[in-house]
Amino acid sequence: MNYEETIEKIHGFQKFGSRLGLERMTVLMDLLGNPQDRMKVIHVAGTNGKGSVCRYLASVLKENGYKVGLYTSPYLERFTERIEFDGKEISKEDLTDCAETVFRAVDKMLAAGYESPTEFELVTAIGFVYFHRMPMDILVLEVGLGGRGDSTNIIEAPIASVITSISYDHRNVLGNTLGEIAREKAGIIKTGSPVISNVDDPEAARVIREAAYERGCDFYDASQTKPTDVTKSLDGYSFKGFSFAGAPFPVELKMIGMHQVSNAICALTVIEVLAERGIINIDLEKVRKGMKGALQKGRLEILSREPLLIIDGAHNEAGVKALTRVVEDHFQDKKILLIIGMMADKEVDRLVEIFCSIPGDIAASEPDNPRKLNAELLCRAVKQAGRDCVVLGDWEKSCDYIYENRDKYDVIIVSGSIYLIGRVRERFANDNKKSIAGL
């Protein structure tokens, strides 16, 4: 089986949908020998920020000499982005080989009468098989959905359980209140493992704190560390306010937005807790270098400067609010084009309402996904919110529109679904390569 056939077979498991619960994952990992039980794992959940926190952690640990595995989802351009070791994506050959190992275990499951795993469960198992084969010191493991019933929650004894934020998303699965959502996220907390929380909402924070204490865990509240002397630039943010062992620790970041300052404090708190426990050894200058070197693709990522073209996977309420804050901080009096594309299962009216607080022109696009919201329906929602809107159609037409109209704007922002911004990123990267090759 080659790489393309492997990917096609993996995607074939989409027909089993997205179902929370660890029953299938438990059987599958038993058949694979439970390699995840022999790993040091930092388990990271949260509504927003978990991907960025994972990037900060992986970058700092790598800078300090650790061989780090990184498991994230979803991917922007390539399937192999989801599984990284030592800063490099899994190779197509390794993915194919590890997938065949997992496929054989799935065949045994089905032959024994068990229910088939979902696609995400399958990919998580492939990740564990791969990481077990590598000379890995620590795995930074991002939760897919929720926490309690997510396939990554097969981990029994993480060296740290991290919850980056709680806000509204996937209410039909996780709950209708922040407390209910927090309870699902807190399901990753395991007896005796330190818990680092960066949750602001009082009710959600209480739920997480009580879950930690019930399971005999030390609890660290990163949200109580407030940044000072924040410097904001499109080249990155810097701040003070965090300290290691009481000593001031000024931080510089490449990532932009006040939410990234919050994510950075969360990641630094994790590093401090692990260092205090003797689980890792760190050099503070290397910590600083690792924080500055971290970059999360697709999160307020600048693709070009003239005009300023930014992509941002803001697909829920907290994400869109973070985007509006950046616009307020950096783009006052700028002529803005906002292109949005959303999935049909999102809270469209609420997200559109927040998007519409961004000044400038708005255009409706479509993600590259069967569950996309039709651009005409999205445009109608924008108009109902009181703003004019242009229907662009699919992501390719949106890219063409950007090229045709880029001289009219100071800032062009493409936001919403990751299945939109990933395609836009890929198109502009390929076009830039062609331009360079033609010089």
pLDDT at 6: 97
| pLDDT for the residue numbered 429 | 78
The predicted pLDDT at position 439 comes to: 30
Residue where one domain finishes, among candidates 245, 271, 293? 293
pLDDT 10s digits, 147-193: 999 999 999 999 999 999 988 765 555 767 899 999 999 999 999 99
Task: Write out pLDDT tens, residues 18-30.
Answer: 777 899 999 999 9
- pLDDT band, very low/low/confident/very high, at 4 (cuts 50, 70, 90): very high
**Last residue of some domain: 293, 317, 351?**
293
For residues 159 and 178, membership in a common domain is answered with yes
What is the pTM assigned to this prediction? 0.94
Q: Are residues 209 and 317 in the same domain?
A: no
Give me the domain span that covers residue 426.
301-437
Domain count, the chain: 2
pLDDT for the residue 172? 55
pLDDT band at 345 (very low <50, low <70, confident <90, very high): confident
Across the range 41-56, mean pLDDT stands at: 96
Task: Please check the confidence at residue 219 and state whether its pLDDT lies above 90.
Answer: yes
325 and 233 in one domain? Answer: no
- Give the C-alpha separation, 348 to 151, whole Å: 28
387-428 pLDDT, tens per residue? Answer: 999 999 999 999 999 999 999 999 999 999 999 999 999 998
Q: Any idea what the CATH number is for the domain that residue 89 is in?
A: 3.40.1190.10
CA distance 360 to 332: 11
The pLDDT, as a whole number, for residue 175 is 62
Q: How far is CA 204 from CA 53, 193, 211, 381, in A?
A: 19, 19, 11, 31
Q: Are residue 396 and residue 312 in the same domain, yes or no?
A: yes
- 6-33: average pLDDT: 90
Say what the pLDDT of residue 438 is.
39
Looking at residues 320-331, what average pLDDT do you find?
A: 96
Q: Are 127 and 160 part of one and the same domain?
A: yes
Q: Report pLDDT digits (tens) over 236-249.
A: 999 999 999 889 99
Structure confidence at residue 171 (pLDDT): 56
Residues 62 and 190 in one domain: yes
Q: Are residues 271 and 238 in the same domain?
A: yes
Does residue 285 sit in the same domain as residue 309?
no
CATH code: domain of residue 335: 3.90.190.20
Compute the distance between CA of residue 412 and CA of residue 406 in angstroms, rounded to an integer.
8
CA angle 180–25–417, rounded 5-degree value = 55
Note the pLDDT of residue 199: 96
Say whether pLDDT at 435 is over 50.
Answer: no
Q: Could you tell me what percent of the chain has a pLDDT over 70?
A: 96
Tell me: do 310 and 392 sit in the same domain.
Answer: yes
Question: Are 55 and 152 in the same domain?
Answer: yes
Q: Does residue 250 have a cis peptide bond before it, meaning omega lies within 30 degrees of 0?
A: no
Looking at the chain, the whole-number percentage of residues with pLDDT higher than 90 is: 87
Domain check: are 237 and 379 in the same one?
no
Q: How many residues does the chain have?
A: 439
322 Cβ contact partners less than 8 Å away, ≥ 6 residues apart: 48, 257, 258, 259, 314
Residue 325 in tokens? 């804050």
**Where a domain ends, among 293, 310, 338?**
293
Greater confidence (71 vs 369) lies with: 71
pLDDT per residue over 121-136, tens digit each? Answer: 999 999 999 999 999 9
Q: Which residues have CB under 8 Å from 119's CB, separation 6+?
A: 10, 11, 13, 14, 16
Mean pLDDT score across all residues of the chain: 93
Question: β-strands 41-45, 138-142: how paired?
Answer: parallel
Residue 17 confidence (pLDDT): 66
370 shares its domain with 279: no
> What pLDDT score does 246 carry?
87
CB 244 within 8 A of CB 312: no
pLDDT-derived band at 146 (thresholds 50, 70, 90) equals: confident
